Chains A and B, each alone.
Chain A
Amino acid sequence: MLEIINLHANAGDKPILNGISLTVKAGEVHAIMGPNGSGKSTLAQVLAGHPAYQVTDGQVLYQGHDLLDMEPEERAQAGVFLAFQYPVEIPGVSNAYFLRAALNEIRKARGEEEIDPLDFMDLVEEKLKLVEWGPEIMSRAVNAGFSGGEKKRNEILQMAVLEPKLAILDETDSGLDIDALRIVASGVNRLRRPDNATIVVTHYQRLLNYIIPDRVHVLAGGRIVRSGGKELALELEAKGYEWLTEEAVSA
């Protein structure tokens, strides 16, 4: 599904990612952990194509295609979805209008017909259950005046409607209370399928109590300093990040 090979990226002149290699197969959930400033969110943004970052070296293959050669919207249309750490407000544009426009772009790219508005509402009604929301959220403007938790839930709703092949959750757990965390995590779990993959970027282990990863990678200084199974997350919870970052520096 996704193969990242020796990826280097800068923000302006500042190197942030310093040679990341990672392979994610269909059906897998990978967790990317690490201290603040380790490059986790940058990795998520670079995969989605944020213009603030420049790739200086390396390669990313997505379903065999050169991902870095694609425009952000082409990546989205090909099934790459980023759940934003800070979802953006679009005043005056209803959630329903926005989400239907997005779904239609993706359907068009797949050679499918645009969805009929009534069919769309039926589809949304189904997906709203995943995030335990009523239909009234669809007539509110995209993220405008939403609480932090509502914004994150809205990201999961979008993910549920757009059905990505590769979902990247960028610190989706940050700022969530325990109930919202449960709703978000169970939404993600129910969207897991053998033919899609998820990358969960998080600072804390607690989200991984709900979303059980197949692999855990620890980032420090823009490199993966350790990879392991789900037990690695628990080890980090107990010991913190310092022992790994020190190892990385001395290595």
Chain B
Amino acid sequence: MSPSTESSVESLVNREYQYGFVTEIEADSLPRGLSEETIRLISAKKHEPAWLLEWRLKAYRRWQEMQEPHHWANISYPPIDYQDISYYSAPKTKKPLGSLEEVDPTLLRTYEKLGIPLSEQKLLAGVAVDAIFDSVSVATTFKETLAKSGVIFCAISEAVREHPELVQKYLGSVVPYNDNFFAALNSAVFSDGSFVYVPKGVRCPMELSTYFRINAADTGQFERTLIVADEGATVSYLEGCTAPKRDTNQLHAAVVELVALKGATIKYSTVQNWYAGDSEGKGGIYNFVTKRGKCAGDDSKISWTQVETGSAITWKYPSVILQGDRSVGEFYSVAVVNGRQQADTGTKMIHIGRDTRSTIVSKGISAGHGNNSYRGQVKVLGKATGARNYTQCDSMLIGNRCGAHTFPYIDVQNPTAAVEHEASTSKIGEDQIFYLKQRGLNTENAISMIVNGFCKEVFKELPMEFAVEAQKLLGVSLEGSVG
């Protein structure tokens, strides 16, 4: 690559992180350290029922016996001292929040600055937002509008109080408390997150969205999201995330569970832009997340779309258990690494029911010294007659110092299944860039156009509002190349 191309690539991928500011706000934080006492404190702060505290403690005891998984993922990081993290931090409020008007103006300004105005007049029409700040939900918009159609959208801590029967029935039903090291940790200490329930036959009238913000230093964020779509219901949910620039690494270990009953559809989209650390790899978020959906009923569908551009390390595999007959699972992913970022991400599609179908489209972009791995499992169990999977896994390299890897695992136990896997690796070409420059585009716009074209199949799965966000993240116009 010519020097000018190289430098434009650098500037494109090294744009200043816009969300790195810190909000000065008094916080109610627990001291660092983790013990049964910590868990009891968190539970007490949230006035939780006994069953939930018991569940947390069970998870904690199990977690203590588990090993942090180091050996199989294609990532490396120094050991995490779990006693050096604060497990709870909440902005101090004078009284319980009754309405949006009572939210601390400092917090409203923070979200304003992030481009997420929380006043309903200013919000994008058709998107309801739950704003999570460190360990707590600070505001949920359009609750009343949603309630009219029977949709419940609130902080999970609120759901525990207001709808305990639903939470108790589904919490841990897709990701059990002992599922893996980070899921067990989350089950023990999770502080907040979003809860969604869409009743039978209801098509949720607006997009639901959660905006996660880590603010406090030395705090981990352990949110837990639970979305249940009852029979024949449809919902589309989006999440976005940012964090301040800090020199130390911060742990984000979330769990997301989706349950789609008979004939239900859940679409879950993520634009992840946690702070990635500086160009030398100092600081940044460890994004160690367990996301899983269960197509519990026949003819149900779960679709994951993710655009992963931030975090020092991303380690997540949004998966679908295809239990119902004719259920459908989808995974569309764009993962970008740059600087010293590492990503080991992909999906699992577990075919259990008959005539189940899954589609995986993964686009990995590696620049700088970034290291990007796709890891995906397609499992077809013995009873999944007629199961189909199509996997397409493409990697693009920008520059000479980055890496791209693909680890597909295919396990088929039914002879009628059809599983396809296609993979490609390409280097962004001098000839492609020159061609676009010869038509009048500068190098930066040329690279943007090529990268966007490469990601098109994934971007077109994003809801419009998020396509705009994704476009900003890649520093390009998506107009025309989407849809």
Contact = CB atoms under 8 A, between A and B. Distances in A.
Given A97-B480, A162-B439, A92 B434 contact: no
A32 interface: no
Given A72-B434, A73-B437, A90 B442 contact: no
Interface in A89-108: 89-94, 96-98, 100-102, 105-106
Interface stretch (B297-305, B307-315, B450-458): B450-458
Contacts of B455: 92
A141 B453 contact: yes
A48 B450 CA distance: 20
Contact of B450 (A50, A51, A87, A93): A93
A71 interface: yes
Contacts of B439: 76, 98, 102, 105, 158, 162
A76 B438 contact: yes
Interface in A124-166: 141, 158, 162
Contacts of B4: 51, 71
B445 A93 contact: no
A93 B453 contact: yes
A146 to B, nearest CB: 13
Nearest to B432: A88
B479 A97 contact: yes
A90 B450 contact: yes
Nearest to A81: B438
A100 B455 CA distance: 20
Contacts of B479: 97
Contacts of A123: none
Contacts of B436: 90, 98, 102
B16 interface: no
B295 to A, nearest CB: 29
B440 A93 contact: no
Nearest to A96: B480
Nearest to B454: A92
Contacts of B432: 88-90
B449 A98 contact: yes
Contact of A72 (B429, B437, B445, B454): B437
B481 A102 contact: no
Interface string A65-85: 000000111011100011010
A109 interface: yes
B453 to A, nearest CB: 3
B435 A84 contact: yes
A102 B441 contact: yes
A15 to B, nearest CB: 20
B438 A101 contact: no
Main secondary structure on B side of the interface with A: helix
B430 interface: yes
Nearest to B442: A73
B431 interface: yes
Nearest to A77: B440
Contacts of A96: 480
A51 B443 CA distance: 12
B438 A91 contact: no
Contacts of A109: 440
B454 A101 contact: no
A98 to B, nearest CB: 7
Chain A, interface residues (CB within 8 Å), range: 20 to 34
B67 interface: no
A89 B445 CA distance: 16
B452 A93 contact: yes
Nearest to B456: A92
B121 interface: no
Contacts of B450: 90, 93
A102 B438 CA distance: 9
Contacts of A73: 437-438, 440-443
Given A50-B434, A51-B430, A93 B441 contact: no
Nearest to B3: A51
Contacts of B443: 73
A96 B430 CA distance: 22
B76 interface: no
A234 B442 CA distance: 41
B440 A102 contact: yes
Nearest to B430: A51
Interface string B237-281: 000000000000000000000000000000000000000000000
B99 interface: no
B437 A76 contact: yes
A97 B481 contact: yes
A98 B448 CA distance: 12
Given A51-B430, A72-B434, A88-B432, A101 B453 contact: no
Contacts of B445: 101, 105
A98 B432 CA distance: 12
B481 A51 contact: no
A82 B438 contact: yes
Nearest to A72: B437
Contact of A90 (B5, B435, B457, B477): B435
Instruction: Count chain A CB atoms within 10 A of each CB in B441, B454, B457, B477 and give the residue with the most.
Output: B441
Given A93-B481, A100-B480, A101-B449, 13 more contacts: A49-B438, A76-B437, A77-B440, A90-B432, A92-B454, A92-B456, A93-B450, A93-B453, A102-B436, A105-B440, A106-B440, A141-B453, A162-B439
27 contacts: A49-B437, A51-B2, A51-B434, A52-B430, A72-B438, A73-B443, A84-B435, A88-B434, A89-B432, A91-B453, A91-B454, A92-B453, A92-B456, A93-B449, A93-B450, A93-B452, A93-B453, A93-B481, A96-B480, A97-B480, A97-B481, A98-B436, A98-B449, A102-B440, A105-B440, A106-B440, A162-B439
Interface of A: 48-52, 71-73, 75-77, 81-82, 84, 87-94, 96-98, 100-102, 105-106, 109, 141, 158, 162
Please provide the 10 A-B residue pairs with the shortest distance between their CB atoms, ordered closest to farther.
Answer: A92-B453, A97-B480, A105-B440, A92-B456, A93-B453, A102-B439, A88-B435, A51-B2, A76-B440, A72-B437
